[in-house]
Structure 1
Amino acid sequence: MALPPTRNLSGTTLLRSVRERIAPYREVIQPLNKQVAIIRFGTADDDPPVRRLRMEAARISAEQKVKTFSYLGFAVDHQVLDPAISSAHFAGLLEQFNQDPRVAAVIVQFPPPPRLTPLVQRLDPAKDIDALLEERSLQPACATADGVTRLVLPFAQDRPAIAVVGARGFVGRGVVRLLAAEGLAVRELDAGDDLRAVRDADVVVSATGQPHLLTPEHIRPHHRVVVDSGFMPREDGTVAGDVHPAAAAIPQCLTPVPGGVGPVEMAVLMDRIVRQEAAPALKPWASPAVSYLTRSQVAQVARAQPAIPRPAAAPDARRPSPHQDRSHGRRSL
């Protein structure tokens, strides 16, 4: 018996099923004439290359949100602001959306200019559909963290060891909080930690936005699922996740980048806005069950096979950035 090939968990397929489930509510939403406001910032001439790439990720995510809410029958006010906008202008725009009864939800696409970030806290918690306010939000966590958690739960019914890389970042904090609410213990890893510790886990979540951080040195065949929520556009036009391509065929299940967590984030936003505006009793969608082997079963298969040389570790760094930029929790293709 050989280990089965890695299974890619398609977020696109899951999003399609959620759209079909929610489609009937468009007839309820369209007559309401409600709006969703999406604010993002353009690039500045002096932005360093890394920030430009993050802003490109923000653009892609914002445009996917426009499609998501428009599909449901909401009018979308998508504003692209000059990064030099004054604090007073930005604060006034937020207040305008807060006071407008037609606006059902407001999303500020991260990262805004650092000087404007504190002003996001002025957002009305009732309209904070993506939990930008964190503890003050009416939502349990950002949509990305919520989606990641839903992907993990089918693999965690027997309370396995779970590692979250980037646990102090915006998305990572949310994942840790939601998994803890399910009674699951999490090994939190971040800057300064030896990431080889993920080898001791059964389930791995990576939420750093640091391209190709996890290599064959970290990923193992007994990993039931590796949820890669990284999304970083590259100068050659491709997109990189946290998992190095050399490690992509090692775990039992993996969320691809693109096409994995990004569409799942959109599915969560659809779920939230429909329950908020049209169907409060609607049960949140859950990820379907996926078959996997336990660690002991993987070991049994390995003992029955001839020894196979391990892939050489890729030369990427082992440590994530100290704090995940919130833009890495806001992307989709």
Structure 2
Amino acid sequence: MTKTIDGKAVAKKVNDATQVAVSELVAQGIQPGIVVIIVGEDPASKIYVRNKNRKAEKLGMHSVVRQLPDTTTQAELLAIIEAYNADDSIHGILVQSPLPKQINEPLVTMAIDPHKDVDGFHPAYVGKLVTNYPGHYPVANTPRGIMTMLKEYGVDPAGKTAVVIGRSTIVGKPMAALLTNANATVTIAHSRTKDLKAVAKTADILVVATGIAHLITGDDIKPGATVIDVGMDRDEHGKLVGDVDFESAQGVAGLITPVPGGVGPMTIATLMQTTVELAKWSDKRE
């Protein structure tokens, strides 16, 4: 029988711990602060940013949303980032994707003070993640949140075969690195993978992050596998669905995340967790 992973419940546990940590820092005169910069009017991004802001405020954090027009230039955005780099009330800086075509995203990533890189996208942090370097540093929030869910549900990646479908720097690549560091045997699959569905069926742990609605069905899942659906897609009726056909996966997967209510809440909870950690580490920089 397939068991549904309750991302909301796990996120609540993370948020409860974060709220305690915020209170402890505030008592020491430090209020964790985050700024989310959004460029343009992408509807999905605006909803996501609104949810982040509400959660941060609810947890007692200093939260800023900086809305910029889609005509914002590269130089203007970099100047705004530099101002937040110098703002001691801000511990985490996040620039929401997607960005308009005139903005060079890698340059934006490099412009953020690494000590405030709440997404963990700076090449120095990516290198530390891949090499499993010890110490304190941020890691991409969605993959980190997924690892938290796996632990909460007693899924130990060690010795298991894991397949990550998707190779983005936001999810796929850091997810593969975290699973490798946890001693799984990892395959990264993508649009050029031959016989993708057969590869998917080898997985004890299957993470799907492609943005293609219902790419994976129950026929593509190994019986008893843990299936993590990162997709946030819309079907022909406008309904929010995942990259995995949830209904056909029922009775095949051992554990599965729903869409919505699975990975999404954990991403925001982990973002808040990381912001508080950056505030804690701000006086103990490596």
User: Normalization by structure 2: what TM-score?
Assistant: 0.83
Judge conservation of contact 2:203–2:222 (CA < 8 Å) in 1.
no
Corresponding residue number in structure 2 for 1:239: 240
Corresponding residue number in structure 1 for 2:75: 88
Which runs of structure 2 are paired with 1:30-45 in the superposition (5 Å)?
30=26, 31-43=29-41
Q: CA deviation at 1:140?
A: 4.8
Identity fraction in percent: 27
Matched to 1:27, the amino acid is: S
Matched to 2:9, the amino acid is: T
Corresponding residue number in structure 1 for 2:117: 128
Q: CA deviation at 1:147?
A: 1.2
Matched to 2:116, the amino acid is: K
- CA deviations 1:154-187 (Å, max 9, x no partner) are 3235511111111355310010111122222101
1:144 partnered with 2:142: yes
Structure 1 residues 34, 178: CA separation in 2 closer, same or farther (over 3 Å shift)?
closer
Judge conservation of contact 1:29–1:72 (CA < 8 Å) in 2.
no
For 2:275 and 2:106, the matched residues in 1 are separated by 25
For 1:236 and 1:271, the matched residues in 2 are separated by 35
Judge conservation of contact 1:38–1:79 (CA < 8 Å) in 2.
yes
Q: Determine helix, strand or coil for the equivalent of 2:102.
A: helix
For 1:8 and 1:119, the matched residues in 2 are separated by 40
Structure 1 runs (4+) deviating above 3 angstroms are 28-31, 134-140, 233-237
Q: CA deviation at 1:244?
A: 1.7
Structure 1 residues 21, 170: CA separation in 2 closer, same or farther (over 3 Å shift)?
closer
Which runs of structure 2 are paired with 1:34-183 in the superposition (5 Å)?
34-43=32-41, 55-116=42-103, 117-120=105-108, 121-136=110-125, 139-153=137-151, 154-156=154-156, 158-183=158-183
Corresponding residue number in structure 1 for 2:201: 199
Corresponding residue number in structure 2 for 1:14: 10
- CA deviations 1:301-329 (Å, max 9, x no partner) are xxxxxxxxxxxxxxxxxxxxxxxxxxxxx
Which runs of structure 2 are paired with 1:261-300 in the superposition (5 Å)?
261-278=263-280
Q: CA deviation at 1:78?
A: 0.4
Matched to 2:106, the amino acid is: P
For 2:183 and 2:247, the matched residues in 1 are separated by 33
Structure 1 residues 27, 222: CA separation in 2 closer, same or farther (over 3 Å shift)?
closer
Q: If you compute each CA radius of gyration, which structure gives the higher value, 1 or 2?
A: 1
Matched to 1:166, the amino acid is: G
For 1:18 and 1:84, the matched residues in 2 are separated by 37
Matched to 1:19, the amino acid is: N
- CA deviations 1:70-107 (Å, max 9, x no partner) are 12322211022211112221111011111111111111
For 1:155 and 1:222, the matched residues in 2 are separated by 12
Structure 1 residues 161, 214: CA separation in 2 closer, same or farther (over 3 Å shift)?
same
Judge conservation of contact 2:118–2:278 (CA < 8 Å) in 1.
no
Structure 1 residues 151, 17: CA separation in 2 closer, same or farther (over 3 Å shift)?
closer
Q: CA deviation at 1:67?
A: 2.0
Judge conservation of contact 1:141–1:178 (CA < 8 Å) in 2.
no
Ranges in structure 1 where 5+ consecutive residues have no aligned partner: 44-54, 281-333
For 2:118 and 2:107, the matched residues in 1 are separated by 17
Matched to 2:212, the amino acid is: Q
For 1:216 and 1:234, the matched residues in 2 are separated by 18
Structure 1 residues 22, 245: CA separation in 2 closer, same or farther (over 3 Å shift)?
closer
For 1:135 and 1:174, the matched residues in 2 are separated by 13
Q: How many residues align?
A: 264
Q: CA deviation at 1:277?
A: 2.3
Alpha-carbon RMSD across the aligned residues, in angstroms, is 2.3
Structure 1 residues 98, 145: CA separation in 2 closer, same or farther (over 3 Å shift)?
same
Corresponding residue number in structure 1 for 2:229: 228
